[in-house]
Amino acid sequence: MLAEQENPLRRLLASGVTALLEVSAAVKNVESWNIEAALAYHDLAWYLCGELWAVSTAAQPDLAAAERQGHIDKLLYPILDSQVPDAVKCTLVVRLFQVVLAGRMWPLVAGSG
């Protein structure tokens, strides 16, 4: 009788260990995704920094470089902040690309009128 009870306990323990390993693997997967997402946001921020700088230089050529960089840093800070939710970061990235597009298009539109 004791042997019959011992076998189900071993099976239960073995399945518990398996489940624990699966949960641990899932957690590691999420952690690696977070790192990948942070790297993608970092790359986007660098690209947007250059584009915003170019648009800002065309629109306000007399603005001091430090002031220009300060304004750009304020726009990009939420993209790089790990506490900002991904949905907010994605929305901000899209909006900033729209701003860059509008800034690049403005001279073409203004010149045709």
**Is pLDDT at 53 greater than 60 in this prediction?**
yes
**Least confident interval from 1-10, 29-38, 69-78, 92-101:** 1-10
Q: Which CB contacts under 8 angstroms, 24+ apart, belong to 61-67? A: none
* The pLDDT value given to residue 2: 52
Q: Could you tell me the residue ranges of all domains in the chain?
A: 2-112
Mean pLDDT of 48-57: 96
Closest CA to 76 of 101, 95, 61: 95
61-98 tens-digit pLDDT: 999 999 999 999 999 999 999 999 999 999 999 999 99
Closest CA to 75 of 58, 101, 56, 102: 56
pTM of the prediction? Answer: 0.73
In this predicted model, which residue has the larger pLDDT, 112 or 40?
A: 40
- DSSP secondary structure string for all residues of 41-53: HHHHHHHHHHHHH
The tokens of 71 are what? 């304004």
